[in-house]
Amino acid sequence: MAFDAGMLSACVYELKNQIIGAKVDKIYQPGRDELVFNLRPEGRKENLKLLMSAGANTPRINITELSLQNPAVPPTFTQLLRKHLQSARITNIEQLGFERACRIDFDARDDMNFKTRKSIVCEIMGKYSNIIFCDADMKIISAIKIVDLTTSHKRQVLPGIIYEMPPSQDKTDPLSETQEGFESAIADWQGDVSKFITSRYMGISALVAREIALTGDWNGFKKVIDRIKNNEYIPTLLRDDDGTPKEYCFMPVTQYGNKMKCEVCASFGVLIDSYFDERERTDRIKQKASDLFKLIENAISRLEKKTALQKEDLKNCTDKDKLKHYGDLITSNIYALKRGMHKAQLIDYYDPEMAEVTVPLDYRLDPAANAQKYYKKYNKLKKAEIELQKQIDISASELEYLYSVLESFDRAEGELEINEIRRELYESGYGSRMKNYTQVKQQQTKPLEFETTNGYRVLCGKNNTQNERLTFKLASKGDYWFHAKNMPGSHVIMFCDGLEEPPAEDFTDAAVIAATHSKASDKASVEVDYSLVKNIKKPAGAKPGFVIYHTNYSAYVTPSKAVCDTLAKK
């Protein structure tokens, strides 16, 4: 993880110039492990949002510009903070030594309206991250993650005990290292220099250690440490060829050469938002929609097992023509048969060579009854084959729908979209499997909006409900509809009714948007169907988002998140 002590030092240095003196306006908790403080800085008109996250995969502290949805019912920890810190003023923020922990001090009021100090300690330590609320004596009032003896024997975080730093790892503080100490220690080291850095010194990430290892001497080490001591930070984001953020750091990174694009951000807040936005959104969606994921996965598993059994039964129906043939042979040779026979060698009059066929018989039945028995089995398998094929097609359609719902979670941005998916599943017949679900009227969510190269407006649905609303309510007959061929994905509408025919590059833009927002977003080439909206129909009784069309064009494009980000309407 790149959020090491150096990165925290850079963030704290930036925050000192932004939040000290600011007044707490609102506090809310958009996720289980994160807090947002809405602050009113002195002498500034714009409010700031201070985000603290203790998520195992997304721990950080920064000024954020992300739109995070506030839950309808605030959690208990949020209510406690509002009680103590509403209208409090931030007086200080400092890093605790060279650890991945910082403390924010507040001037607040107690229950008797006397002035008092309260503090929040933000520990950014991977899966051990925490946000701890303390009083003036650093006695813990509460924490976003309570740690008792059942969780850890080394260190507890419980209300009423004095806050203590996490146990030391017996590593050296790099800020106090001397040249003699460094050179003496590295002389005895056998192996990778970056491993030497991370094993000996506290608060240095593997990324920074590898950067120091490029020189592998005291000068390279001192250069990084001096940058931290002198607060000479540069917010650096590393992206791959697709534009996906891969690493971030408080200084330039050269170890990847031309394999990564090095981007200097306007601030550490912008840097951290850019890196964590997609990752955090995914984690938040998984948390809030865990019951839906389980419901869909169980339904998919059940349908796959059911389909496998139906296909096995369908294979058994392939013998039906043989049974009918036996019935015909018995009928044509009935004069040569009598009751009590177990089998018979019969001439096949339907074979040009008049070959003999061995036909099993039921000795308890007469020849005519044996023939009827084969005909009944034939008719039974014939009907079963038709019905099984129908059921297999129904299951395949149901699976396709469930996969489309599962894929729509990739585009959900918050609780409103999750609730829209929840309601869609309820209306699609899954209500009996949802515990304590009550259908309520809710506001409609907005689809993704883009603008093509030549200014054509494009909307992209985030889920099946939005897809249907886009195609059949918002779009006009003269607009163009796009969708990745034969796979779950968004309906994309390019609005051009009444305008001139869009240039080819605009069709390409819309097709790239459709390919990127589909299950094939990781493919090198995706076939995208597009047609006028007037050609798109929905069969009666079909699931939300399911359409049919017979007149269309196709285009092969490469999905690109970077292109979509460029075309996205700000």
- Give me the pLDDT at residue 119, please: 97
Tell me: pLDDT of 96 over 90: yes
What is the pLDDT confidence band of residue 38, given thresholds at 50, 70 and 90? Answer: very high
Domain that holds residue 361: 300-404
Alpha-carbon span 24 to 26, nearest angstrom: 6
What tokens were used for 520?
């094939």
- Mutual angle of helices 415-425 and 290-316, in 10-degree steps: 30
**Pair (245, 323) in one structural domain:** no
DSSP 253-299: --TTGGGSEEEE-S-HHHHHHHHHHHHHHHHHHHHHTHHHHHHHHHH
**Pair (318, 214) in one structural domain:** no
**Pair (482, 538) in one structural domain:** yes
What tokens were used for 125?
């330590």
12-51 burial, b if ≥16 CB within 10 A, otherwise e?
Answer: bbbbeebbbebbbeebbbbbbbbbbbebbbeeeeeebbbb
The contacts of residue 265 (CB under 8 Å, 6+ apart) are 235, 236, 237, 271, 274
What tokens were used for 373?
């028995």
Alpha-carbon span 320 to 313, nearest angstrom: 12
Read off the pTM.
0.65
Return the SS3 of 344.
strand
Question: Residue 531 class from Cβ within 10 Å (0-12 exposed, 13-18 middle, 19+ buried)?
Answer: middle
- Give me the pLDDT at residue 116, please: 94
Residue 442 lies in a domain: no
The region, left, alpha or beta by phi > 0 then psi within -120 to 50, assigned to residue 203 is: left
Q: Which of 493, 494, 512 is nearest to 455 (CA)?
A: 494
Residue 158 lies in a domain: no
- Give me the pLDDT at residue 518, please: 92
- Give me the pLDDT at residue 443, please: 66
Average pLDDT, rounded, for the chain: 89
Last residue of a domain, one of 245, 264, 286: 286
Return the SS3 of 121.
strand
Can you say how many angstroms the Cα of residue 445 is from the centroid of all Cα atoms in its chain?
18
The contacts of residue 449 (CB under 8 Å, 6+ apart) are 457, 458, 459, 460, 568, 569
The region, left, alpha or beta by phi > 0 then psi within -120 to 50, assigned to residue 78 is: alpha
Q: What are phi and psi of 373, to 5 degrees?
A: -60, -45
- Give me the pLDDT at residue 436, please: 60
Share of the chain above pLDDT 90, in %: 57
Alpha-carbon span 287 to 83, nearest angstrom: 27
Question: Residue 57 class from Cβ within 10 Å (0-12 exposed, 13-18 middle, 19+ buried)?
Answer: middle
Tell me: pLDDT of 180 over 60: yes
More confident residue, 499 or 284: 499
Last residue of a domain, one of 253, 286, 319: 286
Mean pLDDT of 81-93: 95
Residue 436 lies in a domain: no
- Rounded to a whole number, what is the distance in angstroms from the first to the last CA of the chain? 30
Residues 480 and 507 sit within 8 Å (Cβ to Cβ)? yes
**Pair (219, 315) in one structural domain:** no
**Pair (11, 113) in one structural domain:** yes
Tell me: pLDDT of 414 over 80: no
Alpha-carbon span 289 to 411, nearest angstrom: 13
Amino acid at 357: V
Beta bridge partners of 168: none
Residues 213 and 229 sit within 8 Å (Cβ to Cβ)? no
Residue 378 lies in a domain: yes
- Give me the pLDDT at residue 90, please: 96
> Could you give the residue ranges of the DSSP H alpha helices within 357-477?
367-408, 415-425, 464-469
Last residue of a domain, one of 257, 286, 315: 286
Residue 155 lies in a domain: no
**Pair (23, 129) in one structural domain:** yes
**Pair (12, 122) in one structural domain:** yes
Alpha-carbon span 61 to 47, nearest angstrom: 17
Residues 491 and 471 sit within 8 Å (Cβ to Cβ)? yes
**Pair (85, 180) in one structural domain:** no
CATH code of 25's domain? 2.30.310.10
Share of the chain above pLDDT 70, in %: 96
Mean pLDDT of 2-21: 93
Residue 463 lies in a domain: yes
State pLDDT tens for residues 494-536: 998 777 889 999 999 999 999 999 999 889 899 999 999 999 9
- Give me the pLDDT at residue 495, please: 94
Residue 395 lies in a domain: yes
Tell me: pLDDT of 9 over 60: yes
Return the SS3 of 106.
strand
Residue 14 lies in a domain: yes
The contacts of residue 480 (CB under 8 Å, 6+ apart) are 493, 494, 496, 502, 507, 510, 530, 531, 532, 533
- Give me the pLDDT at residue 442, please: 64
State pLDDT tens for residues 212-239: 999 889 999 999 999 999 999 999 999 8
Number of domains making up the chain: 4
**Pair (58, 126) in one structural domain:** yes
Alpha-carbon span 433 to 417, nearest angstrom: 20
| Lowest model confidence (mean pLDDT) among 6-10, 74-78, 166-170 | 166-170
Which range among 150-154, 243-247, 277-281, 303-307 has the greatest average pLDDT? Answer: 303-307
**Pair (478, 546) in one structural domain:** yes
Query: Tokens 């407006």 appear where?
Result: 457
Tell me: pLDDT of 440 over 60: no
Q: What are phi and psi of 120, to 5 degrees?
A: -120, 125
**Pair (98, 19) in one structural domain:** yes
What is the pLDDT confidence band of residue 441, given thresholds at 50, 70 and 90? Answer: low
**Three-state SS letters, 547-563:** CECCCCEEEEECCCHHH
**Pair (134, 201) in one structural domain:** no
Return the SS3 of 205.
coil
Cα pseudo-dihedral 485, 487, 492, 498, rounded to 10: 30
Mean pLDDT of 383-406: 89
Return the SS3 of 505.
helix
What tokens were used for 401?
């729908």
Strand blocks (E) in 457-516: 457-460, 480-484, 492-495
Alpha-carbon span 202 to 183, nearest angstrom: 17
